[in-house]
Amino acid sequence: MFKQVENNDYISNFYRYKLFNKKTKTYLLTSDSGAFCFLNSQEFRQLKRGTITSQKTYQLLEEKGIIISKNNIKKTQIQMGTRYSFLQNGCSLHIVIPTARCNLGCDYCFADPSEIHAPKGENDMDEATAKKTVEFILNSPSSAITIEFTGGEPLARFDLVKIMVEHAQKLNKKLKKDLRFSIVTNLSLMNTSIMEFFIEHNINICTSLDGPKQLHNKHRIIHAKQGKEIGTFDTVIHWMKTINKEYKKRNINNKVYALMTITKDSLNYSKEIIDTYLELEIEMVDIRAMMYVGRITEENNKQYLYEYKDFITFYQKCLDYIKELQKKGIEIEDRMTHLYKKKILTGKPQYHTDYESPWGAGISALTYHSNGHIYCCHEALGNDDFLLGNVHQQWLELFQTKEMAFTIMSSMLERNPQCDRCVYKPYCSTSPIENISSQKDINFRPSKTIRHHETLFHCEREFNKILENETRE
Ligand code: SF4
């Protein structure tokens, strides 16, 4: 009945596939540009054999760039360029550690910071290194620069934060880059004059909030003298509310943002965690499983680690609750769901350094240790394989090192044979730091990584929804 489509002068593009629905024998196909389509088994067979007979199927495959013809070659090139545009933008996120010391003793911290009373010496930046760091950062070819202060606890050296912000702003008068600042702080050393400085200099504030008081105070504690432990929940809430109130009073469209760490203790608190965030008017929650990096290992941290399936059960409960709230008209969303959905539906990069392949670390983000050493990311501090250089070098020298090549190559999913065949590869990513920390090997087993399970969860959820809608239509 069908004739082979006429004028079908095409070649097959590289695509990955999977029998997505065994019952209906529906195949999911994806291309490297992030485009996707569903085919029934007959259409799929014809594509494989190069004998497409239906005009509709031909048009669909041409539109998605699964086949390349003279009609779509330009469009396919543009789609590919757009998908990987994050590789061409230069380094825009610069994470600076003014001090490696911290006043909290959170048992789940991957960073193993020095105690707050430790000697400043090697733990803190000196003023010359702080200024040099800013100069190095502003030499990035990127026209948009964000300098993010983190730690240790960066407010333990607010004087250095102030010096770097003012120095960067002074230099930028000539450079005229889109210069932004943010700080990740536990808020326990906050005071009114620091708050004023942050508001005056438009510095975004992000803190850590694990959920309700009993949960947050279980891990995020200050070790006071005589072995007394003080939970930080009340302080965090006080400063979040105070700063948000100031923003409102001054008509500034901003809010203090917060991130949570999900431990085994969190798994029974799905609703309470989201309610705590809602109370602080945070409309985007970031629910992510703990990564095995730094001093977090399966052997040493059994008391708060969990099986991935337990995390998924918890995550599903959170998403169900979020849906319930959305139905009531309450604005709240989960960042990871949003990110995967946008990746799938738009085919565009989402500029999240941890969620691209190759990874953004080293390409679009760098981390500056208090001693002036430059690493690909915060989690890599102290690991010489990912030590890219230091702030006294020239910008370009950093990108000619074997460590930079190693960073990029080790974060490309294509290196892994299972990932290279995986239909979800265009939406997935991997962290070489996590792979080395948890599997002691750069050649990782996907099923042993959190990212693998996260990607399967989100992609299957989104593609099921899309297929259901297509079928209904
Ligand atoms: S990590 Fe898993 S989901 Fe991601 S590309 Fe590899 S096999 Fe696929």
C-alpha of residue 163 to centroid of ligand 1, in Å: 43
Q: What's the first-to-final CA gap in the chain, in angstroms?
A: 25
Q: Among 14-18, 23-27, 134-138, 393-397, where is mean pLDDT lowest?
A: 393-397
- Residue by residue, DSSP assigns 54-96 as -HHHHHHHHHHTSEE-TTTHHHHHHHHHHHTGGGTS---EEEE
pLDDT digits (tens, 9 = 90+) for 75-125: 999 999 988 888 888 899 999 999 999 888 887 777 667 777 777 777 899
Q: How many CB atoms lie within 10 A of CB 141?
A: 10
Q: Which residue, judged by its Cα, is nearest atom 1 of ligand 1?
A: 452
Q: Considering only CA atoms, which residue is closest to atom 2 of ligand 1? A: 452
Atom of ligand 1 nearest to the CA of 423: 8
Task: List the residue whose alpha carbon is closest to atom 6 of ligand 1.
Answer: 419
Ligand 1: distance of its center to the CA of 439 in Å? 16
**What token pair was written down for 301?**
């941290």
How far apart (Å, rounded) are the C-alpha atoms in residues 62 and 131?
A: 53
Residue 453 alpha carbon to ligand 1 centre in Å: 8
Please name the residue whose Cα sits nearest to atom 3 of ligand 1. Answer: 452
On the question of pLDDT at 2 being above 50, the answer is: no
> Which atom of ligand 1 lies nearest, measured to the CA of 430?
1
- Percent of the chain at pLDDT above 90? 67
The residue to mutate among 424, 429, 443, having the most atoms of ligand 1 within 8 angstroms of its beta carbon, is 424
Q: What's the 307 CA to ligand 1 centre distance in angstroms?
A: 18
Minimum mean pLDDT range among 31-40, 163-172, 252-261, 349-358 = 349-358
What pLDDT, on the 0 to 100 scale, is given for residue 301?
64
Question: In the chain, where are the structural domains located?
Answer: 11-83, 91-334+363-375
Q: Report CA 290 to chain centroid distance, whole Å.
A: 13
> 91-334+363-375: CATH homologous superfamily?
Aldolase class I (3.20.20.70)
Indicate whether residue 419 lines ligand 1 (CB < 6 A).
yes
Question: In this structure, which residue's CA is closest to atom 7 in ligand 1?
Answer: 419
Indicate whether residue 318 lines ligand 1 (CB < 6 A). Answer: no
Task: Fill in the amino acid letter for 294.
Answer: G
| Ligand 1 near 459 CB (within 6 A) | no
Contact 141, 163 (CB under 8 A): no
Range scoring the smallest mean pLDDT among 227-241, 253-267, 436-450: 436-450
What confidence score (pLDDT) does residue 214 get?
Answer: 95
Distance from residue 73's CA to the centre of ligand 1 (Å): 28
The answer, yes or no, to whether any atom of ligand 1 lies below 6 A from the CB of 76, is no
Is the pLDDT assigned to residue 190 strictly greater than 70? Answer: yes
- What's the pLDDT score for residue 300? 63
What does the alpha-carbon distance between residue 73 and residue 422 come to, in Å, rounded to a whole number? 24
Contact 166, 179 (CB under 8 A): no
**Distance, CA of 89 to CA of 22 (rounded, Å):** 41
Among 195-199, 309-313, 420-424, 455-459, which stretch is predicted with the lowest mean pLDDT?
309-313
| Alpha-helix runs per DSSP H in 280-401 | 308-327, 335-346, 395-398
Which residues face 144 on adjacent strands? 178
CB-ligand 1 contact for 418 (6 Å cutoff):
yes
